[in-house]
Structure 1
Amino acid sequence: EKKKKKVADNRWTARNEKQAFSHPWLLTTLKGHTGSILDMDFSSNGKYLTSCGDDRAVFIWDTKDLTHKDRKSLRVNIEFDYATLVKWSPDSKAFIINKFNENAVEVYKVEKKKDGWLQASKALTFPKAHETDVIGMGIASNGRFIMTCSNKTDLVLWDLKGQKLTQIDTYLMNTTCAKISPCGRFVVATGFTPEARVWEVIFNKSGEFVEIKQVKQLTLSGHSSGVYDVAFDVDSSHMATVSKDGTWHLYDTKVNYKLGEDTRIIRSGKYEQASNNALIALSPDAEVIVIATFNTLSFYSTLTGQLDYT
């Protein structure tokens, strides 16, 4: 009995510590989810933040009211399933989720009600295309395609109506990350191999899909072990990677690859806790890299390669 009580006390202490979290940069805490939060995304117009969790809920938060106690939020319930990934459409009028059990993309339309706040309704469910967990999902900024990728090697492009455009093999043995570049032209995937691979998605002048082809000149190489994650600056002219080998790289990707120019590493650095999955973010101006490991964020200057803040 004493042992059981001790465990309960420890859990209570851990819960109190979570609730008492404070930091000079902390703006607010958004409460509503009753389970683990798995993904978040800001709408392109900056007005909304959406989050999804294993509690079968997606929340939309009004960013204008973030500091208000009576802030606006909308809870969208996911029937008999939950969302592992969530992404806003470029026009901020819809969002898509990846459903865990069904392993399929679902589209939700977002509209304004008479009172000025939002309502969301399910619009479309895509057919299942992957047999294993989906680890990457995105919508191109030009609105031309949606991408999904599994933790194996199957990467699928869709049109906005849920029709499959094509499917490719990433040849990464296991894929850890797949993203669409901010310019909407490229898809990048990372995994077991020590480089990030880049594909160009090509449409003709009338907007019809032509092909997706690997651009070997844009391959992000230089690591000695698997790559966990990739990030972009605002115009896709720089990309950054973080690897199991304990290093991060910043690449100049504004090259004329059609004339054979290759990407080049312009800054590298080391980070702590390299034995665990890490995430990376790159500031819009490509001057700051942030790496997340466990519950720690580390800020690095790409001008010096040095750690600025943890």
Structure 2
Amino acid sequence: MDPVLPVAVLSILVGAVIALAFFTSYFRKRSSEIQSISKPELQSDPKKHQSKPHQTKKSHASDKDQHKKHHPLDVNTLKGHGDAVNGLCFSSDGRSLATACADGVLRVFKLDDASSKSFKFLRVSLPPGAGQPVAVSFSDDGLSIVVASQSLTGSSLYMYGGVEKPKPSEEAKQQPKLSLPEVKWDHHKVHDKLGILTLSGTTASYGTADGSTIVASCSEGTDIKLWHGKTGKILGHVDTNQLKNTMAAISPNGRFLAAAAFTADVKVWEIVYSKDGSVKEVTKAMQLKGHKVTHMFLYLVQ
């Protein structure tokens, strides 16, 4: 037997043992490193989950703080409504604010002092079956209010007269109670069964106008009607022919009537007055183009 063969076999066995020991130590070391890396991640997850409630609490607290902090132009908040406010309108002198609420009540706030902690207001419930008030407009320099309502049978208009103007503080102390206004005129199914989107009222002072209040009711269809604020007489009627309206407005002097509708154009009509001051006719004046999408809001200035 060759004496070199046993030495070679022994050398191979010893090398294999050394290699096995080396690789075993190497893999153990690698596995320990992997465990040391993975364990902190597994342990950190519960901490993250535990920290979330604290972050949520902090976020809620910050939200409350933000609600407490008012905008520099935020004067006050009017409270007392029992549901969503569908429409509102300031009087011409800015001292009264009327709101049409989904709880079926018309409220007229007296803004004698905008920084006051509480405000006096008239609470007027609509007649039974009138439905939900959706829009409101002042008439006769704030002495009357026209409110639009919507029910299953269609839209209606009610004019409440006898709204008291805000009085000086001394007189207000002597007369703390505000009298309730009364319905002076009403119209039903104003736009058939269609609802009223907006009411726009102004004092007609252009040209030979007699200074009476004109109110425009804009339906969710295509028609717009003009009403005499004091008598409730219908003064005119126009049709936008644009699938559906979104809003109508009258210029402050009562000369123009503008309508925003489904298309991108704004149609404008001129209210023509007779020598006696009454409305003679409503004629198409112009059509404003250049917009790309449907108009949702418009406002006329003098």
TM-score bracket for this pair, using the shorter chain length:
0.5 to 0.7
Q: What is the CA deviation profile of residues 71-106 of structure 1, one whole-angstrom value per residue up to 9, with x for unaligned ones?
A: 322211123422110111142110110011151110
Which of 115, 120, 139 matches 1:72? 120
- Unmatched segments (≥5 aa) in structure 1: 1-12, 236-310
TM-score using structure 1 length: 0.64
- Unpaired segments of 5 or more residues in structure 2? 1-59, 165-171, 205-211
Aligned equivalent of 2:207: none
Structure 1 residues 25 and 165, CA, compared in 2 at 3 Å: closer, same or farther?
closer
User: Does the alignment pair 1:194 with 2:264?
Assistant: yes
* Paired residue total: 218
How far, CA to CA, are the matches of 1:214 and 1:172 in structure 2? 15
TM-score by length of 2: 0.66
Task: Give, in whole Å, the separation in 2 of the partners of 1:184 and 1:116.
Answer: 36
The whole-number CA distance in structure 2 between the counterparts of 1:139 and 1:188 is 13
**Separation (CA, whole Å) in 1 of partners of 2:97 and 2:69:** 21
Instruction: Tell me the distance in 2 between the aligned counterparts of 1:69 and 1:151.
Output: 38
Provide the C-alpha distance between the structure 2 equivalents of 1:21 and 1:90, rounded to a whole number of angstroms.
Answer: 38
Q: Does 1:226 align with 2:286?
A: no
CA contact (8 A) 2:214 2:227 kept: yes
Q: CA offsets per residue over residues 153-182 of structure 1, 9 Å max, x none?
A: 111122332232332211121110111111
- Structure 1: distance between partners of 2:199 and 2:264: 22
The SS at the match of 1:76 is strand
CA offsets per residue over residues 212-236 of structure 1, 9 Å max, x none?
A: 11112xx221012221111123x1x
- Mapped contact 1:110–1:118 kept (Cα < 8 A): no
Higher relative contact order (CA 8 A, sep 6+): 2
Alignment partners' CA distance in 1, 2:282 and 2:291? 25
CA–CA distance in 2 between the matches of 1:21 and 1:133?
A: 39
Query: d(CA) in 2 for partners of 1:158 and 1:55?
Result: 26
**1:138 Cα offset (Å):** 2.0
Change (3 A) 1:224 1:36: same
Q: Which moved more, 1:219-228 or 1:177-186?
A: 219-228
Classify 1:173/1:221 alpha carbon distance in 2 versus 1 (closer, same or farther; 3 Å).
same
Query: Of the two, which has the highest radius of gyration?
Result: 2
What does the per-residue CA deviation read over 1:246-270, in whole Å, with 9 as the maximum and x for residues that have no partner?
Answer: xxxxxxxxxxxxxxxxxxxxxxxxx
CA distance in 2, matches of 1:128, 1:73: 29
Alignment of 1:112-261 (within 5 A): 112=164, 115=175, 118-119=178-179, 120-130=181-191, 131-142=193-204, 143-160=212-229, 161-216=231-286, 219-233=287-301, 235=302
Q: Distance in 2 between matches of 1:137 and 1:115?
A: 32
Distance, in Å, in 1 between the alignment partners of 2:276 and 2:188 is 26
CA distance in 2, matches of 1:197, 1:21: 42
One-letter amino acid of the counterpart of residue 98, structure 2: T
**Greater strand fraction, Structure 1 or Structure 2:** 1
Range with bigger deviation, 101-110 or 185-194: 101-110
Query: Cα offset for 1:135?
Result: 1.2
- CA distance in structure 2 between the aligned counterparts of 1:36 and 1:21, rounded to whole angstroms: 24
Q: Is the 8 A contact 2:106 2:133 kept in 1?
A: yes
Name the aligned partner's letter for residue 200 of structure 2: G
1:30 is the counterpart of 2:100: no
CA distance in 2, matches of 1:215, 1:118: 44
Q: Give the percent of matched residue pairs that are identical in Structure 1 and Structure 2.
A: 26
